[in-house]
Amino acid sequence: MSGPTTAILVADPVAVLLSAAGIRAAMAVREGYQRSAGLSERHRAEHTSRLQQQRDAVQKGQIALQQQLNDAESEFNRLLQLGQRLGATEKIQSDRPAATKNDPAGTLLALQVYNAEIKTILMTQFARQPDWESAEPDFSSAAETTVAQRLLDRISHLGALPQPIQNLAVQLRLNLPPQRLALLESELRRQVQLHLEQSQQQAVQQASALILRHTLNELGYQVEEFSDTLFVDGGVVHFRRHDWGNNMVRLRVNDKTHAVNFNVVRAVQNAGNERSVLDHIAEDRWCAEFPALLKAMEARGLGLDVTRRLEAGELPVQQVDSALLPTFAEPESRRADTALKARNLTEE
């Protein structure tokens, strides 16, 4: 198998969202490190002159930091208990970001981000269930509140309400005849359910794009930048190994059918009929590595059900005008090797 290969995206919503939550938590810590490094460089002189003040602040801060860590840990355990009712305990634990050695602030940030993510995931999943009012206290208002308010509470964690729901909420505050009230409540219930489904679907699609990018990077591919709306709007992404020359894999997403198509392409100035040795190398490597991508994606809840595939060499590698394809930078190590070889040649 090389390309073309076609697969249907099959997502486990909760597993995909939890996997993405773990990735986002780790990303938040990395971004925090980068910001901290920049600040320490700019303010090094100030830090030296204010060292004693900082030591005092750190000592006080460590007490507050430990309390925040304890609070975050308690929140995580509460969410873990909720996840148990959805059969998601193992997944929540496995995707939890690992504690950062000698960096309690980084550990706290990662756990806070992760907690916020999984809370939204669990609340949405509970709210979609028929018995949502008894699922978790956070979803239910006091007994004396109206049906409409309880329905609005059900989606309050999702942020701003869609306009149709806002309009219904306004009408339901009026003094309406019982029959009219019942009709509007029924419509509000329908709109709330629709909003929950659409919100979760969009979140899963965006999480799927994040997982795809993260997995390809983890497997060592150079990946073209692409939006988290890839599985919402459809589109094309290219990725490659640095030693594939002008060859790369084109991944095309059909947002209507949820089909994902892979095929090896080669960037050319002028299309011709010749085949390159690198064509065979790229096809063979991609053929051998494709199962690893499937396995890594599946472990994160994102399955690819292959419906069509061709063996390496069955079709010529598609030639594409290089102006229509991304340009990938050479890795630092490769550029250094090239520069060293060039210098050695000039010295001989």
Last-in-domain residue among 200, 218, 236? 218
Look at the chain and report how many structural domains it folds into. Answer: 3
Last-in-domain residue among 218, 245, 265? 218
Last-in-domain residue among 218, 244, 265? 218
Do 188 and 254 sit in the same domain of this protein? no
- Is 133 among the domain residues? no
Do 212 and 227 sit in the same domain of this protein? no
Structural domain of 65: 14-127
Adjacent-strand bridge partners of 319: 266
Do 52 and 94 sit in the same domain of this protein? yes
Q: How many CB atoms lie within 10 A of CB 35?
A: 10
Instruction: Collect all residues with Cβ–Cβ distance below 8 Å to 178 and sequence separation of at least 6.
Output: none
Do 94 and 178 sit in the same domain of this protein? no
- Is 9 among the domain residues? no
- Is 38 among the domain residues? yes
Query: What would the two tokens of residue 330 be?
Result: 């050479």
Residue 33 confidence (pLDDT): 54
Residue 258 CA to chain centroid, in angstroms?
17
- Is 338 among the domain residues? no
Do 237 and 201 sit in the same domain of this protein? no
- Is 240 among the domain residues? yes
CB 61 within 8 A of CB 53: no
Do 309 and 226 sit in the same domain of this protein? yes
- Counting as low any pLDDT under 70, the low residues of the chain are 1-3, 32-60, 131-144, 271-275, 311-314, 331-348
CB 133 within 8 A of CB 140: yes
- Is 58 among the domain residues? yes
Residue 281 confidence (pLDDT): 81
Do 234 and 306 sit in the same domain of this protein? yes
Do 43 and 92 sit in the same domain of this protein? yes
Residue 316 confidence (pLDDT): 75
CA dihedral 257, 7, 264, 217 (to 10 degrees): 100
Residue 274 confidence (pLDDT): 65
Do 99 and 180 sit in the same domain of this protein? no
Measured distance CA(26)–CA(114) in Å, rounded: 9
CB 200 within 8 A of CB 220: no
Sign of CA dihedral 160, 228, 310, 300: negative
Residue 231 confidence (pLDDT): 93
Adjacent-strand bridge partners of 266: 247, 319
Do 27 and 97 sit in the same domain of this protein? yes
Residue 64 confidence (pLDDT): 82
Do 22 and 109 sit in the same domain of this protein? yes
Do 111 and 19 sit in the same domain of this protein? yes
Measured distance CA(169)–CA(163) in Å, rounded: 10
- Is 107 among the domain residues? yes
Q: pLDDT digits over 47-60, tens only?
A: 444 445 545 555 66
Residue 139 confidence (pLDDT): 53
Residue 92, φ and ψ in degrees, nearest 5: -60, -40
